[in-house]
Amino acid sequence: MGSLILSPPRDWSAVTLREMRRHVGRRSAEAPDSSACHWFGADFHDAGENFCRTCAEKLVDQKFAADPARFVYLYGDCDTDEERYDAAIDGGWSTEHDSPPYCVTCSEPLDGTLTDTGVDDEIDALTDGAGPQTPHDWAMLDVAMINTRGEDMTLAEYVAQPAPKDPLSAKIHATTVDIWQRVAPVVIADMRKGDAR
């Protein structure tokens, strides 16, 4: 009769930062890709609003139909719809935002990175209460953690490191420690759930 070999229980305090970063990456991998973020110059439309390309094109069509003379005044004569879109729509690349960008028309998640304020707010939102619930939530946490390093050391070991001497490096180190201290309990709790499954 064979004997059952049980693994010793996992020492969760020994989880490395690299393991946690990989876990967040795996959980966020199921999120759909974000669309490129587009916007308009203030002469055409509110410059503070973000759009997916489809909704931006619809807005160009509406504004052109409502006042073609103003459009021509702003952008010149355009022979095709595509020329009109290219003349009026800006963006299409990743930029920094104070919060995760969404299309103001259809609410589709858009591509973008977060400012320091955005990182702080997003980590607060995703680590309070139940933590990330959807692949998109995990993707937002991944974006918020983009500049954290995945070291082969535990959180306790990382926190115990002396702060660098130069002010900029010391600030980056302090910010990284703060992020890991807030994120680690949520990530480890999710890792534990996975081990229990």
Contact 90, 53 (CB under 8 A): no
Quick one: which of 142, 45, 155 has its CA closest to 89?
45
The CA-based dihedral angle spanning residues 186, 187, 192, 193, taken in that order and rounded to the nearest 10 degrees: 80
Q: Locate the domains of the chain by residue range.
A: 13-32+113-196, 38-96
Q: Map residue 5 onto helix, strand or coil.
A: coil
* Predicted structure pTM score: 0.74
Q: Kindly report, residue by residue over 122-134, the tens digit of the pLDDT.
A: 889 888 877 898 8
Q: Kindly report, residue by residue over 116-167, the tens digit of the pLDDT.
A: 888 889 889 888 877 898 898 899 888 888 777 667 888 888 888 888 899 9
Distance separating alpha carbons of residues 148 and 144, to the nearest angstrom: 9
pLDDT digits (tens), the chain, 197 positions: 455 444 445 566 788 888 999 999 999 998 988 899 999 876 776 667 899 999 999 999 998 999 999 888 888 898 999 999 999 999 998 889 998 899 999 999 999 888 888 888 988 988 887 789 889 889 988 888 877 766 788 888 888 888 889 998 888 888 888 888 889 889 988 988 876 55
Distance separating alpha carbons of residues 125 and 12, to the nearest angstrom: 24
Q: Which amino acid is at 167?
A: P
Q: Quote the pLDDT of residue 194.
A: 76
Q: Quote the pLDDT of residue 177.
A: 86
User: Which residues, listed in sequence order, are joined to residue 97 by a DSSP beta bridge?
Assistant: 114
